Chains A and B, each alone.
Chain A
Amino acid sequence: MRCAGLFLACALALTHASAAKAQTSEAPLAAPGEAAKPSEAAKPNDASSAPAQAIKAPEPASAAQAAPATPAWYEAIRPEFILLSTGRYQGNDGNHTTLSENGGAWDPTGRKFGDLVTTVGGSLSYQKWVVATRLDLIQYFHAPKAATPTFPSIRDKLKARYRNQVQLEYISASYSGRHVELTLGDFYATLGRGMVLAIRKVGDVGIDNKLRGADIKLNAKGASLRAFGGFLNVKNYEAGTGYAFDEANDRIVGGELAYQYKRYVKVSGFGAFISPVKSAASQSEVLNYGAALELPRPVPWASVYLEAAKLHRNNKGASDDDGKGLYGAASFYLGAVTLLAEGKAYDNLFEITPRGQATATNPDVTQTRWGINQLIAQPTAERAQAQLETNRSVYGGRLRADYSITPLLVPYLSLGAYVDDVHKTDIFAGFGGLRYRPQGFQLVGELGHRRELLKTGSQVFRADSHVDLDLRWDFIAKQQAELVVNLQYSEMADADWVEGRVALSWTHQVGVGLTAAYEVYTRQPTIFDEHYFSLSGQWQFMPGSILRAMVGGERAGLKCAGGVCRLFPGFEGGRLELELRL
């Protein structure tokens, strides 16, 4: 706690010191009274009329003139400092699942507590060198304890849930040259489209996997060679639940060799070997490899990407697992119409998860109650927010067409069909919408339906219908209103439910905004309520730095991003966030 307070104090002091610098970075840089003239080429035309009108003469730059010069040493090392601090008071601790875990019984002990989560990051850059680090600090106040010692499972869960932490989440030193890129410390690694390896950050669902080791890439005349190795460094604090995890520490080595001939063809081969650190009954080793062929523009109106991957898991005594996958995408540019065709054929492309060291107070990262953290990422070839039951043994594809009636008015339609060999279902997925973006107004609307039918009996295994709307308009000078609607109705054999969010926002260009939101999640059993209301506000008090406050509730339910879906708990209470960038 003292650490967090110290960081906050330092940050506020730095805020004061950097105010002049911030003005310099944001203020128009034209000389006083000297307005930049819109270029002739920027005149309105069919392709860019709205933007060209928007780019107009600048304001005089008196603020820039008044700003003091930045010291040479400061510019040479380009320091960057980021602080994200979130303090919450929770009426609902989130230590529940919305599904039928524990027979649907809620843990009654974990409410009315506070937490302060602070992330402090910084970097220094000198020429091609960058050193960066990030620290996560988590502090609980009035943390719930088990009501009686007769419920050891609840007691242990609470211990794991409310553990104060200080975690060195990221540290790296890198050199990025024209022919050599080298990193010591933490780095990300995705090979191909992710079927072989995807060590990555998906912030929206709280995943931040890194490798802590060394990564080198050599580039020369169209060819590149990359080799890396290290220990898996998972995010030790799960933002969605507050659970604390020890490091997974899987050993991972991998590499990629690629060659590109002009803009016509690129070929690459890649592989990765994943080995757990400690032996236990479930320990195994995984060897993945694959190859990709890319034809970026074999003809001016098309591009093609193909990738094949093979997975092999040695289960050390038990029968091995083998998986293979084929993914392809082709784009066609036919005047006002663009077509995207995506296809996938996955045969037992099994999940590869971190090897957490499960103890009573350290839940296994492979078995979080809130969803799997994977080390590979098979492309879904579906809508990014689609809630997939599985993406392991499935084949099929989709075709998406966008038609630019004008550059500002674009309707689109996507139709897909897949066969899932895990649940033995046929899947049909279609969605269509419209984007209309004239000057000072935006309308984006989408409707869709996804239906999964059991092969035997054609009964519905799962069906989802969704509506998305984003309506934004500049109703008064420098003020903007926005209505966002995301609603989904879902059916399964044992339940049907509605989930989603409706939010109305007002923002002013001076940097303030207010949002009133309603969220719903009716799947039974639910946490507390089915309906949640919240009011939030934000103030951008200097460029890149924001203060946010929220009071009310947020629904539980699935969040999907980057092909990953995780179940998040609900929240009721108040929240204050400070985001500071210097």
Chain B
Amino acid sequence: MKSHSMLFVSLFFAACAAQTPAPGTAPADGAAPAEKAASTQASELPDFTLSTTEGERFTLSDHVGKEVIVLSFWATWCAPCLTELPHLEALYQAEKDNGLLIAAISMDEPSSVAEVAPTAARIGLTMPVLLDTDQRAVQLYNRSRNAPMTVVIDKTGKIVRASAGYEVGDEVKLAAEVRTLLK
């Protein structure tokens, strides 16, 4: 058991070292300077890749450092979430051209995940709707599994807000906060 643990630890650090570029080195994929700057910011946060209901692959690091990001954790069985989402969609519509990205991350279990896409369509969501049936993003940004849960990341890759729950009027505070970050 002890030798197995040592092996795990060695593999863990070896894999992580392979992922972390040395200071001053160019990105392995030959990214342009602007992209390089963005990828430097992207390295500040734990990353995840999830599928959207539209069939796209969403990787957080593609957006960190480029946009103000709102991660909204929700579920089809969560009534406050369904009340909040139209407000988030309106904010997204209003500010997406100014650099705002809102990602609605569904926490639905396998038993109800089939209802995610129809629910999103009904609400009229045009923002990316991500499926996190394996609790990947949840483990990184919503460990307590709150629904709804809102995480705001500014353009420097810093988490500036992580708040659980939704009450009427919260959308006003969020919109104000986001618009300030977009300036």
- Within B45-89, the residues touching A (CB, 8 Å) are 45-49, 51-57, 59, 61, 77, 79, 82-83, 86-89
Bound-state CA distance A125–B141 (Å) is: 10
Q: A263-B55, A340-B114, A544-B163 given as contacts; is B46 within 8 A of A29 (CB)? A: no
Which residue of B8, B45, B117, B135 contacts A128 across the interface (Cβ within 8 Å)? B45
Q: Is the CB of A331 within 8 A of B55?
A: no
Bound-state CA distance A404–B19 (Å) is: 47
Q: A200-B109, A379-B110, A402-B122 are in contact. Are A42 and B19 (CB under 8 A)?
A: no
Query: Which positions 82-132 of chain B face chain A at CB distance < 8 Å?
Result: 82-83, 86-91, 93-95, 97-98, 109-115, 117-118, 121-124
| Contact A340–B115 (Cβ < 8 Å) | yes
Question: Which single residue of chain A is at the shortest CB-CB distance from B85?
Answer: A51
In angstroms, Cα B49 to Cα A55, docked, is 30
B34 at the interface (CB under 8 A from A): no
Q: How far is the CA of A563 from the CA of B55 in the complex (A)?
A: 25
A180 to B48, Cβ gap below 8 A?
A: no
**Cβ-defined partner of B134 (8 Å) among A121, A189, A213:** A189
Return the contact of B114 from the options A47, A214, A331, A478 (Cβ within 8 A).
A331
When C-beta atoms are compared, the residue in chain B nearest to A177 turns out to be B19
Also in contact, A78 and B90, with CB within 8 A (given A127-B45, A200-B109): no
Listed residue (B16, B114, B122) with the most chain A CB atoms within 10 angstroms of its CB? B114
- Does any Cβ of A come within 8 Å of B32's Cβ? no
Q: Are B179 and A563 in contact (CB under 8 A)?
A: no
List CB contacts (< 8 Å) of A255-312 with chain B: 260, 262-264, 266, 294, 296-297, 303, 305
Q: Which of A121, A264, A442, A543 contacts B163 (CB 8 A)?
A: A543
Contact: A333 with B55, CB < 8 Å?
no
Interface-facing stretch out of A93-101, A151-159, A190-198, A313-321? A190-198
Which residue, of A38, A39, A78, has the highest number of chain B Cβ atoms within 10 A? A39
Q: Is B110 a contact of A42 with CB atoms below 8 Å?
A: no
Chain A residues bordering chain B, tally (CB within 8 A): 108
CA distance A88 to B181 in the complex (A): 44
Residues of B within 8 A of A187 (CB): 139
Cβ contact within 8 Å between B19 and A480 = no
Chain B residue at minimal CB-CB distance from A484: B79
Q: How far apart are A296's CB and chain B's nearest CB, in angstroms?
A: 3
Binds B, one of A3-11, A108-116, A168-176: A168-176
**Which residues of A sit under 8 angstroms from B139, Cβ to Cβ?**
174, 187-188
Q: How far is the CA of A262 from the CA of B123 in the complex (A)?
A: 25
- Chain B residues contacting A537 (CB-CB under 8 Å) are none
Most buried by A among B8, B77, B122, B163: B122
Interchain CA distance A165-B94 in the complex, whole Å: 52
Residues of A within 8 A of B133 (CB): 190, 193-194
The answer to the question of A437 belonging to the interface, with a C-beta cut-off of 8 Å to chain B, is yes
Say yes or no: B172 contacts A54, CB within 8 Å: yes
A residues in contact with B145, CB < 8 Å: 201, 203
Given A36-B176, A80-B143, A379-B114; A25-B162 close (CB under 8 Å): yes
Contact A380 B111, beta carbon cutoff 8 Å: yes
A180:B143 contact, CB within 8 angstroms: no
Contact A201 B135 (CB under 8 A): yes
Does A142 have its Cβ within 8 Å of any Cβ on chain B?
no
Of all chain B residues, the one with the shortest Cβ separation from A545 is B164
Query: Does A75 touch B at the CB level, under 8 Å?
Result: yes
With a cutoff of 8 Å between Cβ atoms, the chain A residues found around residue B122 in the complex are 338, 402, 404, 407, 410
Query: Which of chain B's residues have a CB closer than 8 A to the CB of A58?
Result: 172-173, 175-177, 179-180
> A434: CB under 8 A from chain B?
no
Say yes or no: is A549 at the interface (Cβ < 8 Å to chain B): no
Separation of A455 and B46 alpha carbons in the complex (Å): 54
Instruction: Return chain A residues, CB-CB under 8 Å to B181.
Output: 29
**A48-B89 contact given A59-B176, A178-B59, CB 8 Å threshold:** yes
Taken together as a complex, chains A and B put the C-alpha atoms of A535 and B89 apart, in Å, by: 36
Bound together, the chains give a CA A380 to CA B115 distance in angstroms of 12
Q: Contact: B109 with A437, CB < 8 Å?
A: no
Contact of B109 among A82, A202, A294, A410 (CB under 8 A): A202
> In the complex, which of the residues B16, B121, B135, B169 contacts A333, with contact meaning CB atoms closer than 8 Å?
B121
* Residues on the A chain within 8 Å of B43, using CB: 127-128
17 A-B contact pairs sorted by A residue (CB < 8 Å): A25-B161, A28-B173, A41-B94, A54-B87, A127-B45, A128-B20, A128-B43, A128-B47, A177-B19, A180-B15, A190-B135, A200-B135, A214-B12, A303-B53, A338-B122, A384-B112, A509-B167
Q: Closest 10 interchain pairs by CB?
A: A296-B55, A58-B176, A263-B55, A563-B111, A42-B94, A51-B90, A194-B110, A176-B46, A562-B109, A39-B94
